[in-house]
Amino acid sequence: MKLKPLLLASLLLSPLANAEHLMLHNPYARATPPNVATSAVFVEIMNHGEKDRAIVSASTPAAGKVELHDVVHEGEVMKMRQIDQIKIPAQSHTSLKPGSLHIMLFDLTKPLVEGESIEVNITFANGESQQFEAPIKKVMSGMKHHH
């Protein structure tokens, strides 16, 4: 095993440096029409660390229930399904985006209005958590929401 400068730096600075290996880019939440109580949060996560990471849960004050979802194709139909974790491999990135991985929000406390934002907290398999603000944006619905 080669000792890379990055790894040495992380050993010296740990554990505080661990969280900084994950960078969140372009988070946003899907704006909802009135009477729709579900939405989704999308974000791109870059893992600059040497270890694989995984999101195991998420929460937000804006929703009563939050699940991690993927989208699978069953014939012509795209269906969402709950998954246990969203992996972010070491030295790689994972994109949560419409029609793919997303953080699913159920039982919204109020409609998500474009221009506002919500606080989202994600927890990783190693017990760390990270909070971020997701601006609410209108997102073209590329799929039907089947549950």
Comparing CB distances to Cu ion, the nearer of 3 and 74 is 74
- DSSP structure string for the chain: ----HHHHHHHHHTTHHHHHTEEEEEEEEE---TT---EEEEEEEEE-SSS-EEEEEEE-TTEEEEEEEEEEEETTEEEEEE-S-EEE-TTEEEE--TTSSEEEEEEESS---TT-EEEEEEEETTS-EEEEEEEEE-----S----
- Closest approach of Cβ 69 to Cu ion, in Å? 3
Site for Cu ion in 103-142 (CB under 5 A): 104
Comparing CB distances to Cu ion, the nearer of 7 and 56 is 56
- Residues 67-106, one symbol each (x = binds Cu ion by CB under 5 A, - = not), give --x----------x-----------------------x--
- Closest approach of Cβ 80 to Cu ion, in Å? 4
Comparing CB distances to Cu ion, the nearer of 104 and 112 is 104
Residues within the interface to Cu ion (CB under 5 A):
69, 80, 104
